[in-house]
Amino acid sequence: MTWTRALCGIAVVIGVLSASGASAQVLPSCTISVTSVNFGNYNVFNGTAVDSTGTITYRCNATAVNITITLSKGQSSTYNPRTMTKGGETLDYSLYTNAGRTSIWGDGTSGTSVYSRVNPPNNDVNVTIYGRVPAAQDVSAGSYSDTVSATINF
């Protein structure tokens, strides 16, 4: 039996805006942190996709009236599928905004979706990243990985 370990690491990029003007003005600010989507072991002989989740946690102050969170393609040329690699080998996977895994999370282009929220609360907000590795991919055993950047725009 062949087992493959798959991990999609999510890097954090914080979008920062600055404004000139009165020094008494409170500028919008947000923080963001991420737990990776770890698919665990992938069995090439299993006919079922491997699903997993990760979490983006953000907090914005009261002056951030509209935010979006985008995910990069990672080392892939497309959002669907993204690819994890081990040397020259690739393992396809996708990241989604919804539990039904029907809405690809990207930057809003090429049919992808983004997370958005108007007037986010001034406390920690957890957003789930839904991941899936499709079944029936013929890859060798080993650790496959990708790094995807999460960016918060406000």
pLDDT digit string (tens) for 111-127?
999 999 999 999 999 99
Structural domain boundaries in the chain: 29-153
pLDDT for 8: 53
Q: What is the DSSP letter of 45?
A: T
Report residue 65's pLDDT band, with 50, 70 and 90 as the boundaries: confident
Task: Report whether pLDDT(64) > 90.
Answer: no
pLDDT for 24: 56
Return left, alpha or beta for 77; rule: phi > 0 is left, psi -120 to 50 is alpha, else beta: alpha
Task: Report whether pLDDT(3) > 50.
Answer: no
Which of 24-33, 45-54, 129-138 has the least mean pLDDT? Answer: 24-33
Pick the CATH number of 29-153 from 3.20.20.450, 3.30.300.30, 2.60.40.1090, 3.30.9.10: 2.60.40.1090
Report residue 148's pLDDT band, with 50, 70 and 90 as the boundaries: very high
The DSSP code sequence of the chain is --EEEEEEEEEEEE------S-TTSPPP-EEEEEE-EEEEEEETT--S-EEEEEEEEEEE-TT--EEEEEE--TTSSSSSSEEEEETTEEEEEEEESSTTS-SBBSSS-TT-B-EEEES--SS-EEEEEEEEE-S-----SEEEEEEEEEEEE-
Task: Report whether pLDDT(54) > 50.
Answer: yes
pLDDT digit string (tens) for 72-98?
999 999 999 999 999 999 999 999 999
